[in-house]
Amino acid sequence: MILIRCPWCGPRDAGEFHYSGEATPRPEPASAGPREWRDYLYFPANPRGQVTETWYHRMGCRRFITVERDTDTNESRPVPGGPR
Amino acid sequence: MHQIIVWTPPGRNAVAAVRAPSQPRRRRPRRYGALALLRHGLSGREWPRAWSEHPLRDRYDVVIIGGGVHGLAAAYYLAANHGITDVAVLDKGYLGGGGSGRSTAILRSNYLTPEGVRFYDRSMQLYRTLAADLDYNVMFSRRGHLTLAHNDSSLRTMRWRAEVNQLQGVESEVIGPDEVKRLVPYLDTSEHPRYPILGALYHPPGGIIRHDAVNWGYARAADAYGVHIHQDTEVTGIDVAEGRVRGVRTTRGDIATRVVLNATAGWSTLVAALAGVRLPIQTFPLQAAVTEPVRPFLHAVVVSGTLHVYVSQTDRGELVFGASVDPFAAYSTRGTLEFAEGLATHILELMPGLSRMRLLRQWSGLCDMTPDFSPIMGGTEVEGFYLDVGWGTYGFKAGPVSGEAMAQCIATGRTPEIIEAFGLGRFGAGELVGEKGAAAVGH
């Protein structure tokens, strides 16, 4: 079982969550051109190791949370100061 | 903000500049004919190794990273079609230890886009004669491929796919539940299941193959041309100077080379990063499982996109199951109980008669998912650094055609027409392929 550590609900089964991908800052809509948007949409960092991600706790607090997870071991922890 | 990669193909490139192709000298390996097998079997002597080991040289014309079906096929076609034999295939583990050995080995070409259909059908052509070409029994078994439709929208997409397929000359048609029942009597085609079977896309040329034999066959044939296969050799760095590849560094020593092909899966973003190339890829595990062997009863390959499951019976009698990729990105290849539970639920919905079957084992492989479910093939902004990556869940069936196309790309320095649509530049240019006929992905 893989656990995601929700800052509101504590460690819960990953099946309760929806994975929404790497937490990359969104380009500035007023100034970003097609290139920045495509880069943002298509080019994830895809690291082997620690990555900061957004998850949606759909079967729990129903909030988007920011989690730091190791893509090799699936160990995770909430990121302090992330959106909660 | 990162700089996006926009790549324009150079006029001349690569090996064409390295050396003019000469006629390859081929050392004939021992034939695997029926008489030779019988004679050797009776003699009781050790079988000779299918490919040889060599010391790592400090210079090769072409270095291929990844000893799976793609890398080995590229090495074979470089030698056989273009006379380039000074080639090294490096693998950090053993041959076929990645996606090639973990695939469920289903072959088909009934994709949705014309580019996809043409491409995969060329691969089917090569697979059909592969055993004779390589003198190696790859156990290709053409048994028909059924993609089930459980709702109106998927039935609509299947009609669309059948039209595209027929236009490209690929055998493919939509059939009703009665015909499905006739082909696979064990399927529950009644109206009772939660997702009743409304019809199916039937693709008679589809089938299964022995994946390890494909890897070993290519390795043996490439070795006979003088290609060096180096297992347990991990690439730790790629030297790039003035925008061109100069060499690779490995755990067994450095190699000077002007051409590097990244033919890895799972680790393709990490390998490309060594050359400073970013890829639009995220790595997801895909799990599969196999049951104990039973008497042959399932002839066709059965796929259900709605239930996220596909099943075929091997020649040994085991049922091989696959599913969709795991719901989040990871490099971990640990299997999960959720997968086994979900798989059992879904397969019993299709074939209730399997309820007493026992799963023998489950495993997981890494899939490099691109935003448009299509691969990334061809050159990059680093001259001499080629890609054959992003194979998601459909890499195995494309092995031969990818090897052939990449060999042509490297030998001539020009991108062959059959892979033009799959260049890395399409993501910067916003020209995605949009292949929704891909397996094991939710659409």
Query: Contact B1/A38, CB-based, under 8 Å?
Result: no
Query: Contact B427/A48, CB-based, under 8 Å?
Result: no
Provide the pLDDT confidence category of residue B13 given band limits of 50, 70 and 90. Answer: very low
Q: What confidence score (pLDDT) does residue B286 get?
A: 95
Provide the pLDDT confidence category of residue B430 given band limits of 50, 70 and 90. Answer: confident
Section B96-125 average pLDDT: 92
Q: What confidence score (pLDDT) does residue B24 get?
A: 59
Q: CATH number for the domain including B347?
A: 3.30.9.10
Task: State the CB neighbour count (10 A cutoff) for residue B361.
Answer: 11
Of B324, B347, B368, which one is at a domain's C-terminal end?
B368
> Chain B residue closest to A55 (CA)?
B328
Rounded Cα–Cα distance for residues B431 and B121 (Å):
23
Q: What confidence score (pLDDT) does residue B23 get?
A: 56
What is the per-residue pLDDT across B244-260, written as a single tens digit (0 to 9) for each?
999 999 999 999 999 99
> Chain B residue closest to A16 (CA)?
B327
Q: Which residues of A touch B331 (CB under 8 A)?
A: 48, 71-72
Is the predicted ipTM greater than 0.90, yes or no? yes
Our CA-based measurement puts residue B5 at a distance from the nearest CA of chain A, in whole angstroms, of 9
Print the domain residue range for B344.
Answer: 140-204+283-368
Q: Are residues B273 and B297 in the same domain?
A: no
What is the per-residue pLDDT across B191-233, written as a single tens digit (0 to 9) for each?
989 999 999 999 999 999 999 999 999 999 999 999 999 999 9
The DSSP annotation for B76-144 comes to: HHHHHHH----EEEE-SSSTT-SHHHHS--EE----SSHHHHHHHHHHHHHHHTHHHHHTS----EE--
Q: What confidence score (pLDDT) does residue B1 get?
A: 40
Q: What confidence score (pLDDT) does residue A82 get?
A: 58
Whether A39 has its CB under 8 Å from any CB of chain B: the answer is yes
pLDDT at B422 over 90: yes
Cβ neighbors of B298 (< 8 A, separation 6 or more) are B184, B186, B311, B312, B313, B319
Q: Are residues B233 and B338 in the same domain?
A: no
Q: Which residues of B touch A46 (CB under 8 A)?
A: 269, 279, 281-283, 329
pLDDT at B241 over 70: yes
Whether A73 has its CB under 8 Å from any CB of chain B: the answer is yes
- Find the range with the poorest average confidence among A48-57, B38-47, B53-62, B91-100: B38-47
Our CA-based measurement puts residue B223 at a distance from the nearest CA of chain A, in whole angstroms, of 33
Of B319, B346, B368, which one is at a domain's C-terminal end?
B368
What is the per-residue pLDDT across A48-61, written as a single tens digit (0 to 9) for each?
999 999 999 999 99
What is the per-residue pLDDT across B333-378, written as a single tens digit (0 to 9) for each?
998 998 999 999 999 999 999 999 999 999 999 999 999 889 999 9
B439 falls within a domain: yes
Q: Are residues B12 and B144 in the same domain?
A: no
What's chain B's average pLDDT?
Answer: 90
Query: Contact B427/A42, CB-based, under 8 Å?
Result: yes
Q: What confidence score (pLDDT) does residue A81 get?
A: 63
B110 falls within a domain: yes
Our CA-based measurement puts residue B114 at a distance from the nearest CA of chain A, in whole angstroms, of 23
Q: What confidence score (pLDDT) does residue A1 get?
A: 72
Token output for B101: 């050995």
- Fold held by A3-78: Folate-binding fold (3.30.2270)
Rounded Cα–Cα distance for residues A60 and B190 (Å):
37
Rounded Cα–Cα distance for residues A13 and A9 (Å):
11
> Chain A residue closest to B5 (CA)?
A39
Which conformational region is residue A81 in: left (phi greater than 0), alpha (psi within -120 to 50 degrees), or beta?
Answer: left
B145-149 and B301-304: which strand pairing?
Answer: parallel
Query: Contact A71/B332, CB-based, under 8 Å?
Result: yes
User: Amino acid identity of B363?
Assistant: W
Q: What confidence score (pLDDT) does residue B437 get?
A: 56
Whether A3 has its CB under 8 Å from any CB of chain B: the answer is no
Provide the pLDDT confidence category of residue B55 given band limits of 50, 70 and 90. Answer: very high
Q: What confidence score (pLDDT) does residue B20 get?
A: 46
Number of domains in chain B: 2
